[in-house]
């Protein structure tokens, strides 16, 4: 059967191959499952290992630190080989990381779990660096923002699946873990801690099986390359540029809109990770009668409304500019997080949930708009930079936890993601103004020359 698409010189396709796009999109919920399970693990490990809020946030530091470390190697592999090569390496690391949960659950040490989480993140760095860019490329250029928003719409589904796995396979019925351990002797606590960590292993057994099947599908199904080709002065064809050169760095940092996009992505990921990392903990603190399994319902609600917020934005994108939509989303998100900080009662949980709706379309829109501002030959380097900016997720949850420990009030820590949302609102306001300038230049170029 002949293919129905043709690759253009800039790397985009004349049409989108449906099967390949579906398989690539399946990666999005898979990495969000791992992300959602981290929110469960933070609560589980804090109680089981009797950690501070700050120390429990090291789960996110290990996770997003892995993203930061592997982003450049992932982009280099994409440049030298292909997007699919990077995806296969990412799936392999993901599988290894999940398998490391087996010895970690038996060694019963916090450090070994952090090693396993770090290994998973190394794989996810390859997956996100490649799949996000590949999603924008695997079809016509004019629909690139729509495609990545469509693919990213499935990440909340992965989040919901991840939190459900945590709720029913990791968290248990009865009193909260802390209340149970408070009534035990040191010997009983050691046995109980080991039993609780065995539950932590179960979701990762399921994930490994899914990953192996998907790995084989990516091996045996042919995907378009989607790599731009650039002609040099003597007519030869070459691909890309040196990702680690000073010239590349100077070029990317010299593009003002891309530079602002990097900052926005850094803050967005930090804000999202901080809010979600402590949502379950916030519910337990605001109502001490809850156990972890019940408190997880607020995380499920957050992910559902996150999905609805993203789906609504995807629909509005056909009628309103992405910058305007995200500016209003950001303003509403600021109001929600300000309520969490200022109001000392359980109603803050509903504001946290609403804040998740406002975060919905942030990541794919920042990503796509930022990449549109760099030349095609710098696309792999730009994609790596955007993924490296995810390191914000390693920093801001720990800061929120530290503020909560210092003040003794979990909700006060939410001032940190509030500040992040304020800056993100500013970013989209600058994008609105930049879009106006672009539109004016476009009209000027269309005008007949005298």
The pLDDT value given to residue 120: 95
CA distance 232 to 230: 6
CA distance 3 to 13: 11
CA distance 69 to 121: 9
CA distance 164 to 291: 15
Per-residue pLDDT of the chain (450 residues; tens, 9 = 90+): 346 788 888 778 888 888 899 999 999 999 999 989 999 999 999 988 889 999 999 999 999 888 788 877 877 888 788 889 999 999 999 999 999 999 998 888 899 999 999 999 999 989 988 888 888 888 888 888 788 878 877 888 898 999 999 999 999 888 888 888 888 888 888 888 888 889 999 999 999 999 999 999 999 998 988 877 655 444 444 444 566 677 788 888 888 888 999 999 999 999 999 999 999 999 999 998 999 999 999 999 998 998 898 888 878 877 888 889 989 999 999 999 999 999 999 999 999 999 999 998 888 788 878 888 888 778 777 877 887 888 899 999 999 999 999 999 999 999 999 999 999 999 999 988 887 877 666 565 555 555
From the list 372, 375, 379, 368, the residue with the least C-alpha distance to 226 is 379
Where do we find the tokens 């800056």? 423
Rg for the chain, CA atoms, rounded? 22
The pLDDT value given to residue 278: 95
Q: Where are the domains of the chain?
A: 18-225+242-441
The two structure tokens encoding residue 110: 């916090």
Q: Tell me how far the alpha carbon of residue 39 is from its chain's centroid.
A: 13
Where do we find the tokens 């630190």? 65
The DSSP symbol for 230 reads E
The pLDDT value given to residue 239: 46
Dihedral-angle region of residue 240 (phi above 0 means left; psi in -120 to 50 means alpha; beta otherwise): left
Neighbours of 232 (CB within 10 A): 8
Fold (topology level) of 18-225+242-441: Growth Hormone; Chain: A; (1.20.1250)
Question: pTM of the full predicted structure?
Answer: 0.82
């Amino acid at each position: 059967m002949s293919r129905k698409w043709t690759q253009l010189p800039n790397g985009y396709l004349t049409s989108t191959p449906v099967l390949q796009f579906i398989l690539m999109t399946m990666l999005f919920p898979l990495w969000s499952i791992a992300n959602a399970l981290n929110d469960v693990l933070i609560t589980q490990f804090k109680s089981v290992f009797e950690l501070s809020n700050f120390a429990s946030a090291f789960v996110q530091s290990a996770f997003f630190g892995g993203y930061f470390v592997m982003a450049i190697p992932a982009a280099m592999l994409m440049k030298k080989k292909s997007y699919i090569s990077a995806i296969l390496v990412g799936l392999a690391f993901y599988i290894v990381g999940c398998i490391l949960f087996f010895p970690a659950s038996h060694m019963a040490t916090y450090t070994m779990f952090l090693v396993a989480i770090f290994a998973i993140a190394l794989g996810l760095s390859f997956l996100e660096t490649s799949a996000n860019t590949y999603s924008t490329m695997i079809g016509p250029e004019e629909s690139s923002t729509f495609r990545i928003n469509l693919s990213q719409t499935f990440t909340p589904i992965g989040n919901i699946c991840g939190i459900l796995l945590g709720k029913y396979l990791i968290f248990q019925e009865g009193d909260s873990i802390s209340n149970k351990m408070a009534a035990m002797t040191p010997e009983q606590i050691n046995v109980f801690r080991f039993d609780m960590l065995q539950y932590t292993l179960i979701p990762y057994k399921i994930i490994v099986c899914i990953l192996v099947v998907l790995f084989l599908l990516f091996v045996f199904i042919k995907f378009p390359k989607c790599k731009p080709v650039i002609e040099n002065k003597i007519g030869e064809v070459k691909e890309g540029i040196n990702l680690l050169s000073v010239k590349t760095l100077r070029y990317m940092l010299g593009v003002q809109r891309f530079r602002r996009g990097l900052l926005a992505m850094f803050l967005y990921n930090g804000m999202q990770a901080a809010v979600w990392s402590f949502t379950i903990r916030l519910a337990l603190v605001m109502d001490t009668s809850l156990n972890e399994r019940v408190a997880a319902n607020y995380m499920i609600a957050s992910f559902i409304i996150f999905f609805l917020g993203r789906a609504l934005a995807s629909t509005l994108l056909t009628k309103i500019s992405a910058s305007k939509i995200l500016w209003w989303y950001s303003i509403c998100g600021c109001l929600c997080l300000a309520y969490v900080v200022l109001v000392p009662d359980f109603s803050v949980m509903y504001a946290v949930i609403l804040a998740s709706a406002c975060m919905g379309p942030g990541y794919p829109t920042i990503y796509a708009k930022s990449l549109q501002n760099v030349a095609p030959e710098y696309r792999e380097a730009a994609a790596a930079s955007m993924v490296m900016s995810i390191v914000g997720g390693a920093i801001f949850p720990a800061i929120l936890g530290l503020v909560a420990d210092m003040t003794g009030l979990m909700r006060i820590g939410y001032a940190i993601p509030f500040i992040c949302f304020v800056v993100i609102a500013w970013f989209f306001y600058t994008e609105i103004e930049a879009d106006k300038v672009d539109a004016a230049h476009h009209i000027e170029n269309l005008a007949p020359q005298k």
